[in-house]
Each structure stands twice: as structure tokens, then as C-alpha cells.
Amino acid sequence: MKNSTALGIDIGGSHITAALVDLGTRSIIEGSWNRTRIDSHGEATDIIASWAAVIREVFNNAPAGVQHIGIGMPGPFDYEQGISLMKGQHKYDALYQLNVKNLLAEKLGITPAQIRFINDAGCFLQGEVFSGAGRNYERVIGLTLGTGLGSAVYRDGKSKDADRWCTPFKDGMAEDYLSTRWFVKRYQEVSGQSVPDVRALVARIGVDDSIQGLFDEFAVNLATLLADFVQAEQPEVIVIGGNIANAADLFFPLLITTLQQHNIHIPVVTATLGEAAALIGAASLWHE
């Protein structure tokens, strides 16, 4: 690859987001961002055509010769061969067992070798290690705390999904205790009042003294999950992202203290790239 620019793509259940990434400065090229809704229940030809249309639009504004693409794709998926294995997940069923890499390359008039895939859960961490909070570390674990619980491991230059969301935890699984829905449910139990999300909860801190207690409880639960995760992966740093991380000031101090009680003394940092992480992570597959 002669060019220092690549296209980073994040494929979601209802959208495609794409942007050009300068691999030299490790940042998104201003004005190249494109987010478009996709009908993931459509026919295979329509899905590929919709993706290709977005890619062409971004390439039209790229420097001459930029044709390398990195794609963060949900699983299950054969990332090496480019074959979709998604079935019964309410998205992209029409692509099941099709070679997405070949179909997309043909539609774009490029070679399949110019397209690389990475797991979408690993993509966030790949970006943070390449250009954000995890830079200059070789072994990293990451969590995204939001509607769900995402987890990833970075080692040997590549991130992958760690699938910790379904780890058995208390009387359920980790995601039951480490997501927005836990805060909403727990606040209802404690106060009898309902909030839509963690941001609304934070806004009530001045008027409700019970809220800090919820964040303390969350911190201890998070430390319990991380203690096992750290033991299994032996990382040099922990990167925490997702919407709940915006309230890090309310749970990081106790989280760090509790981890120290587990004899874990590595840095815990918040992700810095936001939505750009996945795009930068996908494009970084072309960083030589």
C-alpha cells in the first residue's frame, strides 16, 4: 500500500458509517464522515449496493489512488475470507454464507485484497490503541459500558471480541449488572422513580443523595468483572468507553481502590476517541 490514507467503515444493524483516515496523523480527515441508514433486512444485492454507494461517495472526496478499505463487521463472520455467518440475528440474514469481500470488491471495481475485516467489538479497542487512550501499550483490555456491555482484548497487534457480556455474574450475567438497564432498574428499586438513562441519573445528583450509592455499587461490580478479565489476559492498561464512561468521575475512584484490593495496580483510563474509534480502528488494519 503506497498511500497513507485508508477508508474506515463501521457496519451496524441499521447503518453504515464511513470516513477517510490519515494513517500518518492517525486521525479522521475532516469533512469525509458519512453515516447512512441501511435496511439490514433487505436482499443481498440491495445491501451490497447500499454499502458500495456510501463507499463511492467517500472515495470521490479522497486523494487520488486511495482504495484500501477496513471494515468493522458484526459477528459471526469469517473475517479472513470475508464470508458472513450471521443468521437469525435480525440483521443481514440475506448475506448468510455469501462472500461479502468478493461481492463488495466487484461492485466497487477493486480487488478483494484491498478490503480487510475486523470484528466490530474489537474495532473500538483497535482504534484506541492505534490513536487514543491505549496508544503505546502492547497488551490492552477494553470495555464499552452503555446499552450493552462490550469487551475486547488487544495483543499481537490485533483486537478481538472478548465476549465478556455473557459471563455468569451474581444471579444473571455481567451485562445485567454493567449496563444502562441496571442503573434504570436499580434506581427504580431504590427511589421508586424512573429515569431513561445514566445521563438523566447524573443530572439528578444534586437533588437525590442515593445516586452516588448506585455508582459505588456499580464500581464494585465492575471491579469484580475486571479482576477476572485482568487475571485471564494480563494487560498493561484497561480502557473504558461507552456512554456510562462519561460519568467516570462518579465510579472510577472506588473502582481503582477496589481493583487495588484485588492486587491490580495497572492504569484504568477512559477512551478518548468516541465514535471515531471504530473507524480509525478499521482503517488502521492498513497501517504498515
Sequence-distant (6+) residues with CB within 8 A of 207 are none
Q: How does strand 237-241 pair with strand 140-145?
A: parallel
Closest among 90, 13, 23 to 281, alpha carbons compared:
23
Q: Calculate the alpha carbon distances from 219 to 24, 27, 184, 286 in Å.
A: 37, 32, 16, 37
Closest among 234, 235, 231, 224 to 269, alpha carbons compared:
235
Domain layout of the chain by residue ranges: 5-124+277-286, 136-271
Closest among 218, 217, 244, 233 to 266, alpha carbons compared:
233
Q: Calculate the alpha carbon distances from 201 to 143, 183, 190 in Å.
A: 21, 8, 13
What is the structure's pLDDT at 170?
A: 96
The CA-CA-CA angle for residues 179, 181, 187, to 5°, reads 110
pTM, full prediction = 0.91
What is the structure's pLDDT at 66?
A: 87
Kindly list the averaged pLDDT for each block of 10 residues, start to end, along the chain of length 288. Answer: 85 93 95 93 96 95 89 92 92 96 97 95 94 96 93 94 94 96 96 94 93 97 97 98 95 98 97 95 93
What is the structure's pLDDT at 270?
A: 97
Are 5-124+277-286 and 136-271 equal in CATH topology? Answer: yes
Look up the CATH superfamily of 136-271: ATPase, nucleotide binding domain (3.30.420.40)
What is the structure's pLDDT at 2?
A: 58
Give the CATH number of domain 5-124+277-286; options: 3.30.420.40, 3.20.20.70, 3.60.20.10, 2.30.30.40.
Answer: 3.30.420.40
Q: How does strand 140-145 pair with strand 149-155?
A: antiparallel
